[in-house]
Amino acid sequence: MLLSDEHEALRATVEEFAQKEVAPVIGDLYIKERFPYDLVKTMGEMGLFGLPVPEEFGGMGGDYVALCVALEELGRVDQSVAITLEAGVSLGIMPILRFGSDEQQQRWLPDLAAGRTLGAFGLTEAGGGSDAGATRTTAKLDGGSTEHADRGWVINGTKAFITNSGTDITSLVTVTAVTDRGEDGKKEISAILVPSGTPGFTVAPSYSKVGWNASDTHELAFDDCRVPEENLVGQRGRGYAQFLSILDEGRVAIAALSTGAAQGCVDESLRYAREREAFGATIGTYQGIQFKIAEMEARTVCARLAWHDAAAKMAAGRPFKKEAAVAKLVSSNAAMDNARDATQIFGGYGFMNEYPVARHYRDSKILEIGEGTSEVQKILIARHLGL
């Protein structure tokens, strides 16, 4: 898929932002584990959070492909900033944009699309990561008849590993919860919007993470947390199906981010191979290094082709679940493999946090886990092959 003129112009703009504004400051933020508020503000002003959001809600009126183009360029330089944008849009905005009521969209989307606030998606639980159907969080209607003015959802449970959930500008979390059980015991799972600061909604301290150290991740707890009945997002009992469609789109976005990470490792390795001397010559003249970088480039090209293929089918309104799974699998593998090889090329310097390849090495592992593990992607691909 060749980028359109509009997408290419966006790519160049985000590349310049990433290289000139993100790269000089992110290393210090990463080491100090500080959220990049200034960068998020700038991305909001650039319209990046509103790329796939219609203009009527303050967005750019673009498409999801545009978001993926931006994510690849950000991912080349730093994954913490990239995942903040990815989660802010695919998990914070898209549930409301795709399934929210007119009132929910009018209330929440303008600030989210402008990057003035962030949204999060409370899906994962400690005992149910890949098995999201194992949701234990519950939400029960309280307040009497349907005409009762105080009728609302009372939510109890916990969520784990939730991105963008505890920043100073987080405005809401969309939570999946069991709202009923059928006669056969099957869970009815719905999605409910919980504004930040709602009584009974507690955000735990930040996790101590291996990577993505300039991004925001928390455990959430709900203890008799009460929100109005109209905070239901989409149809009651369709929360699980809604989340599956959101994840399909999100996997394409993560694939683009992963491709950027893989490309960033190539970029840094090429620069270093041309500068670093050993045994009387730059290391880029040695075939062992040349072959390693060539393999890294091949992985990156394949990853880009995979997410472009999935994105093209998504944009055309065609089924893309298998293609999204392929893209997620291939690109996350490429990011992890390239990060390992880049670290080897850098030698001891590759083990120092001040170097981008060290951040990529720490960051890339989660790409094989988040928004569906590699094993889940293989299951999805196998099912689409009729197995």
Active site positions, annotated: 371
Q: What letter would DSSP give residue 160?
A: E
Which of 122, 105, 336 is CA-nearest to residue 239?
122
Q: How many helices (H) and strands (E) does the chain have?
A: 12, 10
The dihedral built from the CA positions of residue 325, 327, 330 and 331, taken in this order, carries a sign that is negative
Instruction: Report in angstroms the alpha-carbon separations of 330 from 71, 249, 256.
Output: 17, 16, 11
What is the H or E stretch that residue 323 is in? helix 321-346
Q: How far is Cα 42 from Cα 209, in angstroms, rounded to an integer?
A: 25
Cα 103 from chain centre: 26
CB atoms within 10 A of CB 363: 28
């099912």: which residue's tokens? 383
Helix (H, G, I), strand (E, B) or coil at 279: coil
Q: How far is Cα 192 from Cα 175, in angstroms, rounded to an integer?
A: 5
Alpha helices in 47-188 (DSSP H): 64-77, 79-86, 94-99, 102-113
Exposed, middle or buried by CB within 10 Å (0-12, 13-18, 19+), for 229? middle
Alpha-carbon Rg for the chain, nearest whole angstrom, is 21
